[in-house]
Amino acid sequence: SAVISQKPSRDICQRGTSLTIQCQVDSQVTMMFWYRQQPGQSLTLIATANQGSEATYESGFVIDKFPISRPNLTFSTLTVSNMSPEDSSIYLCSVEVAGDYEQYFGPGTRLTVT
């Protein structure tokens, strides 16, 4: 298993600003992911955070809006840039444990954009 922490747990931000969310894992993992969960919706994958190379983004998500860093095997950041109220969501970091390909999630960051 893996224990994942995220910072901040929640934030209220003004339109046009940016927020960086941190994800820390207690062990080295190969795969790290960032998800968005809009109010009342299920999870949508934003991107796969690749260690040492650019993240792989899903359709509808671009690097300019959601830049991601992955400097090592235990840490990643997601930045939500030039925020609008439509970015109000829970952002979740997830990791995958090799072998069974089981996914584990962090506690999430609840973002409100005013």
Partner 1 sequence: KQEVTQIPAALSVPEGENLVLNCSFTDSAIYNLQWFRQDPGKGLTSLLLIQSSQREQTSGRLNASLDKSSGRSTLYIAASQPGDSATYLCAVRLTSYDKVIFGPGTSLSVIP
In the list 41, 82, 84, 112, the residue contacting partner 1 (rule: CB under 8 A) is 41
Of 88, 107, 111, 113, the one binding partner 1 by CB under 8 A:
107
Q: Residue 82: CB partners within 8 Å, gap ≥ 6?
A: 16, 17, 18, 65
Where does this chain touch partner 1 (CB under 8 A) — which range of 40-48, 60-68, 70-78, 80-88? 40-48
CA distance 16 to 31: 31
Q: Which residues make beta-bridge pairs with 21?
A: 78
By CB under 8 A, residue 7 contacts partner 1: no
Residue 106: CB minimum distance to partner 1, A? 5
Q: Which of 59, 4, 61 is nearest to 27 (CA)?
A: 4
Our CA angle for 69, 74, 80, nearest 5°, is 30
Give the shortest CB-83-to-partner 1 separation in angstroms. Answer: 19
> Does 58 help bind partner 1 (rule: CB under 8 A)?
yes
Which of 48, 50, 69, 81 contacts partner 1 by CB under 8 A? 48
Q: CA 22, 92, 43: angle at the middle one, nearest 5?
A: 160
Residues near partner 1 (CB under 8 A) are: 4, 6, 33, 41-43, 45, 48, 58, 90, 92, 94, 100-108, 110
